[in-house]
Structure formats: structure tokens, C-alpha cells
Chains A and B, each alone.
Chain A
Amino acid sequence: MTEVFLSCDAVTLKRAGRAAVLDGITLTFRRGELVGLLGLNGAGKSTLLRILMGLLKPASGTVHLEGRLLSSFRSADVARRLAYVPQGHAAVFPYTVRRMVELGRVPHHGIAGQLGKEDQRKVDAALERLGLCALADRPVTELSGGERQRVVLARALAQEAVGLLLDEPMTGLDYGHQVRLMGLLAELASEGHLVFLTSHRPEEFFSSGSRALVLDQGHIVADGPPEQIVTAERLSRLYGVPLAQIDHAGKRFFHHEENT
């Protein structure tokens, strides 16, 4: 078993006048894992992701990266180890796709530093991997939501971080790109990356994921291999709708179970 890459211990976050958003969350993540986090809207999935990235301070509890307290890292050092794909990217200025991906090299060469040949090669590789070569010189403001999502993912790849934390990465992608993206994430995990994504669609990572988590009322209520966690029974309970499952060719599909 590889050593722990990222972990959080008894992480709690409270908002004034409301029940705890996260209540004593303890988790460990290793390289090579593809972890999916399920939960209702407002369950705190994005909040947990932001805490693991060091973007939000928990009220109590700690986050460790490579065995060291996350808060003891310089922000550029965190950025060389953890990349973040936020939920929806609203482009304000029409930067080219290439420039957006180049920004992924900022943690490595600094703000003022010029991109070297090696940096350019990595930017090209990220563009190629996400199928963005033909769009490289297009302004991001002219792209569709799904294309923009791929640009942000390419930037995360150019960042060359071991950990990739993605907040609902499938949002806005057409079905073909959802399938391709899941394949790419599985490939990245097999290359030794830790891939952690939040999702509203459990089927997405059922076949490719190595681990599924369920966040409900501030607690991790289930943690294990997707085939044990992503079940019709658990999802029916979580989402409050009767669901039935169909297993076929190593995949699991869900449908609304009527007349029950």
C-alpha cells in the first residue's frame, strides 16, 4: 500500500445558526486512487474539497499533505502538489485557450518567469491530452461550457500536480466528453495521480473509480469500493427516491423504481 498523500483529521466546519456543514471528517487518500464523493445539494462536498485544497480554513481539525500540515506549505508548493478544477469557470477576459493552460505553469516558474521549452512542451501535452489543439488560439469566452471545462482541466494537467481535486467536472460536458473524461481520470489515477471528484451522477465513476464516499449531514456515512457503496438501496436512502439497479458488463445503471 502506498503511503498517505493527503489526509484530513476531525475536520469540522460550522456556519452561524446552522448545523455543522462538516462534522469531524477524517479521511486519507493515496496516490493512484480515483475517489468519488457523493452527496445531496448543499451537503458540503465543495466545502470539503476547498478545505482539502487549503482554500478554506476549517473551524477545527487538520489537513496533512505528504505527512506535513497543509498550512505549513507555501501556496506555490501546495499548487505544485494539488491542482483544483472548480465547479464552472466564468471567463471574464478573452484569454486564449493556450494562455489559460499556460497559467498552470505559474506554480513552477513564478508569475514573472518566462515559459521555457520544457514548460511549452508540457502545455502542448496538456492541450493534446484534452483534444484542445485546434482551439488553442481561440478566446475562452467563445467556447461552450463543456469546452471551457476541458480547458480548466488541461490547466490542471499542465500544473503537473499529483493530486487532482475536481468539483463536479462533468457539469456541462456532452455525453461523449463525459465518457472520455472519466477514461482520462482513470488513466491519470493509474499513472499515480490521486484523483478526487465530487459528483451527482454515481454511475459516472462506478466502473472506473476505486473508491466512493457518501457525505450526508456533515458525516462520511459510507466509504469503500464503488460496487459496495454505489448501490440502489443506499442511493434511494440518500436521495429520497426509490431506485433500482441493473448490473451489466461490469457497469451499474440506476432507474426510478415505480409502483413500490
Chain B
Amino acid sequence: MEQPCSRCPLIGDRICRLSRVKGRLISIRPALIRSLSAVALLLAGVLALCCGRYPLSPSRVVVVLGRLLHLWGGSDPIADAIVWQVRLPRALAGLLVGSALSCGGATFQAVLRNPLVSPDLLGVLSGSAFGAALVIVLGGSPALIQIGAFCGGLTAVSSGLSVSRLLPQGGLLTLLMGGLIANAVFTALLSLVKYTADPMDQLPAVVNWLLGTLSQTGWTELSWLTVPVLVLVMVLVLLAPLLDVLSLGDDEARSLGVSVQVMRPVVILLATLVCAMTISMAGIIGWVGLLVPHVARMLAGAEHRNMMPVCALLGAAGLILADTVARSLTSGEVPLGIMTELFGALAFVLVLRRLRGESV
């Protein structure tokens, strides 16, 4: 029921009604953007399964997938091996890592009220890097390296949060200082581990791990991490409306009945948990957590309820594409971390140009 805008002191009734019609049209947009992002993810998946040093046609990939699902019989051992053992696990890993880092990044940006923040601000990357490097130097198995990375990331962020609680007056600034201190300590510890590592075999292994890649991810890792990562991403997407409130000032959020002191650390820990899981799976993959939330915000608007699903879908699509390019570009393989750093930084210039243009 339209209410006449009799109380607007500035504008007439007709403009007010027109603005409501416009508002309704705008409200359809998020669903459209979400659908298009889902299509983009699907296309990226198909592309990832088809492209590579041994190209497969989409129809051949569909036949292989059907056979894997026991929908029909037949035999194509080469295509089966490529899709099942190499490309499908990598695409799934890309989906998990991309969506997790993007949603984690968007969450960090919202709760720290800074759109230029990425998940590493509170120390999750330096902590994970230290954990993984330590296990590599101690001669641990790949599974132990993953556990080391995961625990390192969580320890770094937890110690940052604890330090921030020790500082007087609380609030956002002390949180950032806590993160700064945790980052510094764990970066120093990583350097120490690198310094003591055997330069012949351990140091290259540490450096390789730090570059980030999906090539080591197989069905074993996926069987452990798929469910927890997807559940955490879903939780972050469901918490999206809370992010709108947490991104206001502390006093404003509390005056709306939201307990900032409790909710902020909880949300940070959830985002850290999901980022640490992906780092343990793929190593350090930069820029995704910073860039994708901006792209999602540009397409779907700033409201987290609308942008978080788009962020998850685009992050997944983007990382699958980046990984496909990384393994198809040369006869060897460019580590994915290098690809995302390079293209992420370049793409961010475009995003910043657009953002600056809007703010003028």
C-alpha cells in the first residue's frame, strides 16, 4: 500500500513513489547477480576440466563424469585419469579455497571496518607459514605439514586477540595492534626457521610451500576438509546481516543491541578457522581475500546479505580459473600463489580506479 509522502519536507509525493518503484527494481538485482555468479562458477568448472596440457572436449568430460557417477559404461582410461585424478580434485580444491578466502576476507573487512584489509592482517598467514615451515624442517609428513599450518594460523590470531585484550581501552585499534604484534612475531619465527633450515632440501621445500599451489591437493585432503570448509563458508554467508551491524562504529552497533565485544571475536575466529583450513590445503594464496570482496561489492552492492553469496561464488570461480591458467600457461606449472599475486594486484588497480572514481 503506497503511503503518500506528506511529511517529506524536501520532495513531492510523486518523486517519493517513483523512488519506491526504483527501489523494488533494485531489489530484484541481487538475485540476478547471484544467478550469473553461479553460472560463472559452472563455466569455470567446465573450463578447468577441459583445459590443460591435454585438452578434453566438453562432451568427452561429460561422458567421463557420467561414467564416474555410474550413469553409463564405456572406457576412456586417459580421460578418466585426467579428470578424476588431476582436474576434478583441483577444481574442487579451487572452489573451497576461493570461496573460503573471499568470504574470510569480506568478513575481516567488515568486522575491522576497513575495506583494504585482507585475512593476513591478524596474522593467520604468517602463523600458518611458520607452522608449516617448522614441520617441514622437523621432517614431518605432508599431513603433519597441513596440521602444522592450521595450528600455526590459529595460534597467531589467538595470540593477537589475547594481546589486544591486554591493552587498555579495547576497541578496534587495539585489535589491529594485537594483529600487528602477532604478525611481527610469527614472521620473525618463520625467518628463524628458514635460517636454520637445510639449504639443500628443507629451504626449497619451505619456499615452495609458501608459494601456494593446488597441485598437492588430492582426494584425501578433500575428504577431510570439504565438509568443514563448506559449513564454515555457509555460516559466514548466513552471518552476513550481522556484518552490516559490526561494520558500524562500536557504539552504534551496541546501541542496536548487538554485543560487539562477543560477536567480533567469534566472527574473527570463524573467518580465521576457514582461512587456516584453506592455507593448510593450498599454502599461501594472496590477494583473493582482498580483491574478490571488492568485486562482489561492486556487482551486488555493499549489503552483506547480498554480496556474501556472490563473493563466495566469484571467489570460487576466480580461483578455479586462476589455477587453470597457472597449469595451462606453460609446459611446467606456475605456482598459483604467484598468479593470484600478479593478477590480483593488477585487477586491484582497476577496482581502485573505479572506487576512487565513485568517491569523487
Contacts and interface: CB of A to CB of B under 8 A. Distances in A.
Contacts of B249: 86, 89-90
Interface size class of A (residues with CB under 8 A): 35 or more
Interface string B113-129: 11100000000000000
Contacts of B255: 53, 55, 79, 82-84, 86
A129 interface: yes
Contacts of B110: 93
B22 interface: yes
A99 B26 CA distance: 12
B15 A92 contact: no
Contacts of B7: 128-129, 131
Interface in A84-133: 84, 86, 89-90, 92-96, 98-99, 103-104, 106-107, 111-112, 121, 124-125, 128-129, 131-133
A62 B301 CA distance: 43
Interface in B93-151: 110, 113-115
B248 interface: yes
Interface string B49-81: 000000000000000000000000000000000
Contacts of A79: 255-257
A231 B349 CA distance: 58
Given A93-B115, A96-B301, A136 B256 contact: no
Contacts of B113: 92
A94 B302 contact: yes
Contact of A84 (B9, B245, B252, B359): B252
A208 interface: no
Contact of A96 (B10, B20, B256, B303): B303
A79 to B, nearest CB: 3
B258 A111 contact: yes
A246 interface: no
A103 B245 contact: yes
A82 B254 CA distance: 11
B241 A55 contact: no
Contact of B114 (A50, A76, A92, A141): A92
A84 B256 CA distance: 8
A106 B254 contact: no
A235 B6 CA distance: 39
Contacts of B22: 137
Given A93-B115, A106-B258, A137 B23 contact: yes
B256 A159 contact: yes
A54 B9 CA distance: 34
Interface in B246-265: 247-249, 251-252, 254-259
Given A75-B257, A134-B10, A92 B247 contact: yes
B106 to A, nearest CB: 10
A124 B251 contact: no
A180 interface: yes
Contact of B254 (A75, A95, A132): A75
A59 B270 CA distance: 34
Given A55-B251, A112-B241, A107 B16 contact: no
A136 B23 CA distance: 8
Interface string B221-260: 0000000000000000011011011011101101111110
Given A93-B247, A141-B359, A133 B16 contact: yes
A78 B16 contact: no
B300 to A, nearest CB: 12
A151 to B, nearest CB: 12
A84 B257 contact: no
Nearest to B114: A92
A95 B245 CA distance: 11
A192 interface: no
A95 B244 contact: yes
B132 to A, nearest CB: 33
B330 interface: no
B23 A93 contact: no
Which residue, of B7, B26, B242, B259, has the highest number of chain A Cβ atoms within 10 A?
A: B7
Contacts of B241: 111-112
Nearest to A150: B10
B35 interface: no
B11 A134 contact: yes
A53 B255 CA distance: 7
Nearest to B263: A111
Given A84-B252, A84-B255, A131-B9, A136 B114 contact: no
B171 to A, nearest CB: 12
Contacts of A172: none
Contacts of B10: 131, 134
Nearest to A152: B252
A94 B114 CA distance: 12
Interface of B: 3, 5-11, 15-16, 19-20, 22-23, 26, 110, 113-115, 238-239, 241-242, 244-245, 247-249, 251-252, 254-259, 297, 301-303, 358-359
15 contacts: A54-B254, A75-B258, A78-B257, A90-B249, A94-B358, A95-B244, A106-B245, A111-B239, A112-B241, A112-B242, A132-B8, A136-B19, A137-B22, A137-B26, A142-B358
